[in-house]
Amino acid sequence: GNSVTQMEGPVTLSEEAFLTINCTYTATGYPSLFWYVQYPGEGLQLLLKATKADDKGSNKGFEATYRKETTSFHLEKGSVQVSDSAVYFCALSDRGSQGNLIFGKGTKLSVKP
Amino acid sequence: ETGVTQTPRHLVMGMTNKKSLKCEQHLGHNAMYWYKQSAKKPLELMFVYNFKEQTENNSVPSRFSPECPNSSHLFLHLHTLQPEDSALYLCASRATLRVSSYEQYFGPGTRLTVT
């Protein structure tokens, strides 16, 4: 079945460091891919998405490119801030299951000043 | 962000109590979801409703009873819960009629503690 695998956390970085959170997926067909972010005490917020191969999603300085050849959708940011501390979830749309989302386990990011 | 609201935000209940969680979406969506988020476990999809009809029940125990009176409101009725049911319960919604639009929008969640 379809699945999402993302790197184990926690990830701890200093402010202004470069961030990469790896995400790979297994899917039949052509899913849409998403990154969600969950700040402490809150629900999940859509951070960015890509709907087809080679699409690049971007928002708030974060980027991810839909790579079909490597079945990956890695999240990157050039210079993280303390306010980026949160849990990040990679997800794909399961078109075989009425479009339900399949989530990775989440990666906790802590950014130190 | 007020697109999807959930009440209450925090709930403490005993194992013999009956309570309900409420979710409301103001986005004009037609599908609504309940998820359970426990510490150190992946997000678990519980129920899916599309145009008020339940389309998915992921083997959820009967002590959880969902209700969807219309496309904007979703409830989760709780009774005789167990301590392991303590978790963050998240509601989400989606527009299923929009082509190639699969993103879901989440509420802030209800933090449930069963004592």
Residue with token string 């209800």:
B110
Instruction: Give B93-112 pLDDT, tens digit per residue.
Output: 998 776 667 899 999 999 99
pLDDT, position B39: 86
Chain B residues within 8 A of A93 when measuring between CB atoms: 102
Question: What is the number of CB-based contacts under 8 A between chain A and chain B?
Answer: 50
Cβ-defined contact of B109 to A46 (cutoff 8 Å): no
Question: Which tokens is B7 given?
Answer: 């009440």
Q: Closest-CA residue in chain B for A99?
A: B102
CA–CA distance, B52 with B32 (Å, rounded to integer): 8
pLDDT, position B99: 62
pLDDT, position A36: 98
| Distances B23 to A8, B3, B10, B86 between C-alpha atoms, Å | 31, 11, 13, 18
Question: Which residue did the predictor score with more confidence, B77 or B96?
Answer: B77
pLDDT, position B113: 96
Contact partners, residue B94, CB within 8 Å, separation at least 6: A99, B29, B30, B31, B32, B33, B101, B102, B103, B104, B105
Cβ-defined contact of A46 to B103 (cutoff 8 Å): yes
For testing the chain A interface, which of B37, B104, B105 should be mutated: the one with the most A CBs within 10 Å? B104
Cβ-defined contact of B105 to A46 (cutoff 8 Å): yes
Instruction: Give A58-112 pLDDT, tens digit per residue.
Output: 999 999 999 999 999 999 999 999 999 999 999 999 776 677 899 999 999 999 9
Q: What average pLDDT does the structure give for chain B?
A: 92
Instruction: Give B13-32 pLDDT, tens digit per residue.
Output: 998 889 999 999 999 999 99
Cβ-defined contact of B106 to A32 (cutoff 8 Å): no
CA–CA distance, B75 with B109 (Å, rounded to integer): 13
Cβ-defined contact of A95 to B102 (cutoff 8 Å): yes
